[in-house]
């Protein structure tokens, strides 16, 4: 098997050295070159034809966003952004994902040896995933947790098998996504009208990024989009995005649905977890719900979507061709959890038809 050819673009010599050592430690990755600025990187791309680029945001001569925009316009290819976990860094990184970057990872802390092994496993996994991603140029329309124990949704919400009577007929839509999901969620949400049923969303995203992401979605969607809060009522015309630090669950309070936040252990290595959200919706909304699983690495959400289906909910999975990474939806399809498998642009229309029939 040919090695994945990686090009590291960063103005810091120390960061270039750290990233080179990390990626070169994996036998499936070869760092073919490094570049201190986009001008040098441009020539390296022409000469070496790398499979993946890691790209810093802030660099001399040309900033990372401008360089990324040029790449996606002239030669679309997989890019993993190296981002600072700050509010400003979050906004810039979300812009990079809009432009077509596959994923992002926090900038390594050179002075902290503790935790470097965990960081290395994250960036290696992201580079490998990016090398297989479907990359498309996009036009702007308007630290993953690694844990020693792998928990299932049982660690946060117990699975029940009782057939609950749902007194409310209020509809609810649950969406889960990971790699490539910020843009997939945006495309789905922008197509929903202002009077759509309440929507709950889990996207694998760091704590510092989830609120800026919710704010960006609120600016471009007809629905009102919130960064979910404990006890918040789930209302029609509103969407609620899980905080990056907590699982989002749906609970019932009388005939109402409310948001419940949990700081329980990561499930499938993620907090928030899609499996946790989907299980809570299966148990509290049953056939009054609809589940949608979008692009993402891994299998989080596949089992939860099956639980929603078994509880009487309609379910949709994004198809392989339109997914950046067909991990999560692909696993759901393997389980037989998806009633419909659709390209991204058709998901909202199908969801509205299904939810209106229920």
Burial of 287 (0-12, 13-18, 19+ CB in 10 A): middle
Nearest to 272 by CA among 307, 236, 228: 228
Domain CATH number, residue 193: 3.40.50.180
148 in a structural domain: no
Q: Which residues of the chain have pLDDT under 70?
A: 85-87, 110-115, 137-150, 161-168, 358
Active site residues: 178, 204, 300
Same domain, residue pair 93 and 182:
no
Q: What is the DSSP letter of 321?
A: T
What's the pLDDT at 137? Answer: 63
d(CA 94, CA 90): 6
Residues 181 and 243 in one domain: yes
Residue 341 burial by Cβ neighbours in a 10 Å radius (0-12, 13-18, 19+): middle
State how many domains the chain has: 2
Looking at the domain assignment, is residue 136 inside a domain? no
Give yes or no: residues 205 and 345 share one domain.
yes
Q: Is residue 114 part of a domain?
A: yes
Report yes or no on 282 lying in a domain. yes
Look up residue 84 and give its two tokens: 């600072």
Q: Does the pTM of the predicted model rise above 0.85?
A: yes
56 located within any domain? yes
Helices (H), the chain: 13-24, 38-48, 64-74, 87-99, 116-131, 181-190, 207-220, 274-285, 302-310, 328-334, 344-357
Give 78's strand partners: none
Same domain, 343 and 231: yes
Q: Are residues 103 and 176 in the same domain?
A: no
Query: Are residues 160 and 117 located together in one domain of the fold?
Result: no
Angle at alpha carbon of residue 186, lines to 181 and 190, rounded to 5°: 155
- Residue 237 belongs to a domain: yes
Let me know whether 45 and 172 are in one domain: no
- Residue pointed to by tokens 């990079």: 96
Residues 19 and 98 both lie in one domain: yes
Give me the pLDDT at residue 166, please. Answer: 54
Same domain, 92 and 214: no
| Residue 72 structural domain | 4-131
Considering the domain architecture, whether residues 323 and 246 belong to the same structural domain is answered as yes
Is residue 143 included in any domain, yes or no?
A: no
11-56 per-position pLDDT tens digit: 999 999 999 999 999 999 999 999 999 999 999 999 999 999 999 9
Residue 320 — φ and ψ, nearest 5°? -65, -40
Q: What is the CATH number of the domain that holds 107?
A: 3.40.50.2300
The per-residue pLDDT for 216 is 96
Report the distance separating Cα 190 and Cα 216, nearest Å. 11
Query: Does residue 54 lie in a domain region?
Result: yes
Angle (deg, nearest 10), helices 181-190 and 207-220: 30
What is the pLDDT, as a whole number, of residue 54? 97
pLDDT at 157: 80
Nearest alpha-carbon partner for 13 in 59, 67, 81? 59
Shared-domain flag, residues 243 and 344: yes
- Examine the domain organization and report whether 80 and 175 are in the same domain: no
Torsion angles phi and psi, residue 190, rounded to 5? -65, -20
**What are 163's two structure tokens?**
């057939």
């Amino acid at each position: 098997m040919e090695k994945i050819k990686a090009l590291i673009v960063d103005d810091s010599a120390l960061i270039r050295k750290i990233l080179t050592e990390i990626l070169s430690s994996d036998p499936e990755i070869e760092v073919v070159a490094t570049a201190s600025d986009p001008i040098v990187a441009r020539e390296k791309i022409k000469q070496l034809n790398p499979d993946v680029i890691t790209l810093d945001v802030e660099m001399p001569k040309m900033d990372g966003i401008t360089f990324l925009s040029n790449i996606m316009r002239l030669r679309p290819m997989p890019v993993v952004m190296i981002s600072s976990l700050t509010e400003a860094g979050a906004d810039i990184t979300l812009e990079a994902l809009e432009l077509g970057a596959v994923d992002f990872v926090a900038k390594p802390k050179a002075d902290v040896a503790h935790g470097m092994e965990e960081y290395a496993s994250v960036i290696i996994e992201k580079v490998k995933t990016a090398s297989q991603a479907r990359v498309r140029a996009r036009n702007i329309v308007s630290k993953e947790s690694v844990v020693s124990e792998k928990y299932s949704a049982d660690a946060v919400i117990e699975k029940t098998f009782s057939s609950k009577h749902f007194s409310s007929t209020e509809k609810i839509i649950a969406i889960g996504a990971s790699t490539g999901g910020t843009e997939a969620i945006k495309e789905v949400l922008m197509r929903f009208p202002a009077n759509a049923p309440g929507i709950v969303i889990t996207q694998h995203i760091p704590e510092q990024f989830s609120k800026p992401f919710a704010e960006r979605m609120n600016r471009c969607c007809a629905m009102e989009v919130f960064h979910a809060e404990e006890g918040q009522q789930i209302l029609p015309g509103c969407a609620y995005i899980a905080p990056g630090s907590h699982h989002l669950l749906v609970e019932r309070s009388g005939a109402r649905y409310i948001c419940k936040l949990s700081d329980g252990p990561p499930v499938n290595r993620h907090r928030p977890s899609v499996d946790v959200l989907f299980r809570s919706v299966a148990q509290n909304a049953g056939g009054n719900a609809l589940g949608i699983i979008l692009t993402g690495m891994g299998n989080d959400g596949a089992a939860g979507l099956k639980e929603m289906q078994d509880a009487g909910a309609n379910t949709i999975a994004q198809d392989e061709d339109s997914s950046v990474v067909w991990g999560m939806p692909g696993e759901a399809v393997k389980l037989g959890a998806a009633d419909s498998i659709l390209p991204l642009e058709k998901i909202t229309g199908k969801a509205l038809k299904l939810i209106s029939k229920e």
